[in-house]
A and B are shown apart, each in its own frame.
Chain A
Amino acid sequence: QKEVEQDPGPLSVPEGAIVSLNCTYSNSAFQYFMWYRQYSRKGPELLMYTYSSGNKEDGRFTAQVDKSSKYISLFIRDSQPSDSATYLCAMSLQGGSEKLVFGKGTKLTVNP
């Protein structure tokens, strides 16, 4: 079993839809959870950062962590064509400044 599992998609939604992206993980010691957005042939861009369980909201993005289920989610409200990218979940033991374990990424396309 991989440490972090993420459905690679692809996921295609119409503009304005609510998008739900998810990851599961096996290592209960993970404490820090991140979501990155990666455009084709570019480096990942940090979107959201969450410590332990709970929700965090930033504009149209909401990150949720359920440590009891080892499950994390990213919700995108009012999705836009510019949100089309690959979304990577990442997690670490001791913080965002430590080495990260990434999911495979989910490729999202938002159609106008």
Chain B
Amino acid sequence: GAVVSQHPSWVICKSGTSVKIECRSLDFQATTMFWYRQFPKQSLMLMATSNEGSKATYEQGVEKDKFLINHASLTLSTLTVTSAHPEDSSFYICSAVKGAYEQYFGPGTRLTVT
């Protein structure tokens, strides 16, 4: 297997503030990482693809200026939710690609915007 971590695991912030979530591959290098969002009792929805050293590719309907993604190294990608609003409250999960076939997920970050 492989280990992917996320930090923080849970964050509460006030409306209008920004929050940064980190995703790290601990024991392998990941050229590609993905960011998903999961609402209660819903499936994971892909938000964006993050490639090391290049701009992220966002899925249709995801605001790139609101969800800033930076993949600064082969083991770290960050997602910044800017000017967060209550509707941004969700479970954010990253995944990291190892090798050619396998995608490993982090434990998720629960964001609550008050």
A60 within 8 A of B: no
A46-B102 CB under 8 A given contacts A41-B110, A99-B34? yes
Chain B residue nearest to A90 (CB atoms) is B44
Chain A residue nearest to B109 (CB atoms) is A43
- Contact assessment for B43 and A42 in the assembled complex, using a CB-CB cutoff below 8 Å: no
A43-B41 CB under 8 A given contacts A95-B100, A95-B101, A99-B46? no
Binary interface encoding of chain A residues 28-42 relative to chain B, with 1 for a CB under 8 A from any of its CBs, else 0: 000010001000011
- Contact assessment for A104 and B42 in the assembled complex, using a CB-CB cutoff below 8 Å: yes
B104 within 8 A of A: yes
A97-B101 CB under 8 A given contacts A43-B4, A102-B44, A105-B43? yes
- Contact assessment for B44 and A97 in the assembled complex, using a CB-CB cutoff below 8 Å: no
CA distance in complex: A96, B44 (Å): 15
- Contact assessment for B97 and A43 in the assembled complex, using a CB-CB cutoff below 8 Å: no
In the complex, which residues of chain B have a beta carbon less than 8 angstroms from the beta carbon of A43? 4, 6, 93, 95, 105-108
A97-B43 CB under 8 A given contacts A43-B93, A45-B105? no
How far does the Cβ of B71 sit from chain A's closest Cβ, in whole Å? 15
Chain A residue nearest to B102 (CB atoms) is A96
How far does the Cβ of A65 sit from chain B's closest Cβ, in whole Å? 15
CA distance in complex: A102, B32 (Å): 18
**13 chain-A/chain-B pairs, Cβ below 8 angstroms:** A43-B106, A44-B44, A46-B105, A49-B101, A49-B102, A95-B100, A96-B101, A96-B103, A97-B32, A97-B102, A100-B46, A101-B46, A102-B43
A-binding residues in B (CB < 8 A)? 4, 6, 32, 34, 41-46, 49, 91, 93, 95, 97-108, 110
**What 5 A-B pairs have minimum CB-CB distances, sorted nearest first?**
A43-B105, A97-B97, A102-B43, A96-B101, A104-B43
B-binding residues in A (CB < 8 A)? 6, 8, 32, 36, 41-46, 49, 88, 95-97, 99-105
